[in-house]
A = this chain, B = another copy of it.
Amino acid sequence: MVAQSTGADAKNPIQVIERMMKLLDVLSYYHDPVSLKQLALETGLHPSTAHRILAAMGATGFVERGEPGSYQLGIRLLELGNLVKSRINIRDSALPLMQRLHQEIGESVNLGVRQGDEIVYVERTSSGRSSVRVVHLVGARAPLHVTAVGKLFLLEDGLPALREYAKRTGLPGLTPNSLTSLPALSRELDKVRRHGVAFDNEEIEQGLRCIAAPIRDDSGDLVAGLSVSAPAERHSANWAPLVKQTADDISAAIGYVKPDQPAARR
């Protein structure tokens, strides 16, 4: 008797539910149907108990039974998942985290999405703290290759698409620092890949620098970029980890899970 539970328990989260989650964890770990024995083994539950819980979940479509004694995640989860997805909204999910970042850094934090060959800024922290309020109003647009956020998208596109973009747009320069040649831009994107964050070093506007990190949705698609923009003299490269972390947090909030660490919680 008594739970010989492997891990620690938070408070009193109804053992049944906790066990249920354990089972779902195991099921989500193996993409193929799992046998009862296996489940019982890995969760540390009695086969009997596991069976009972699984049966209950089966009745509601949480799990499906193929061969008797063989279980896998059920479509009901897909239904519910889609419901969640439909209510998720990047701006709303991002805003609180953006504000947190804004508190920490004290500079403008922006959320930009791609629209064709441009980045459009859809959200911006609007505290009055910073006296010199630089930059992008909400709704502002800018070419991909001169913005930090835009570079994230260009990298995602891959080299062939980058070439087309270059040909299509001619890579216009807005400041002396703008990267207006394909090789220069390509090298820059390589840097972005290595760092996981992108920079804009006075490429769109003199005296303005940016750092941006990618935000991905539940299917792994790059859906937005989070950027901090500040006057060049106040800019600090130390922000990079913070920006990246915040972007990751937002990604998580909208359902992104790192490819290597699947949905399993434990």
Contact = CB atoms under 8 A, between A and B. Distances in A.
A80 to B, nearest CB: 4
Interface residues of A, number: 50
A76 interface: yes
A30 to B, nearest CB: 10
Given A16-B16, A86-B31, A87-B31, A24 B80 contact: yes
Contacts of A157: none
Interface string A56-88: 110111100000000011111111111111111
A249 interface: no
Number of identical protomers: 2
Question: Chain A interface secondary structure, helix, strand, loop or mixed?
Answer: helix
A73 B79 CA distance: 12
A16 B262 CA distance: 27
Nearest to A13: B56
A55 interface: yes
A218 interface: yes
Give the residue among A11, A18, A75, A262 with the most B Cβ atoms within 10 A: A75
Interface in A25-55: 28, 31-32, 52-53, 55
B81 A257 contact: no
Interface in A212-266: 218-219, 252-255, 257, 262-263, 265
A83 B10 CA distance: 26
A83 B62 CA distance: 12
A95 interface: no
A132 interface: no
Given A21-B60, A56-B13, A75 B255 contact: yes
A20 B187 CA distance: 53
A193 B17 CA distance: 45
A14 interface: yes
A79 B263 contact: yes
Nearest to A33: B87
B80 A77 contact: yes
Contacts of A80: 24, 28, 73, 77, 81, 263
A97 to B, nearest CB: 14
The 8 closest A-B pairs by CB, nearest first: A81-B81, A13-B56, A79-B263, A78-B255, A17-B56, A14-B56, A77-B80, A16-B16
Given A11-B59, A17-B57, A18-B60, 6 more contacts: A10-B59, A14-B52, A73-B87, A78-B84, A78-B255, A80-B81
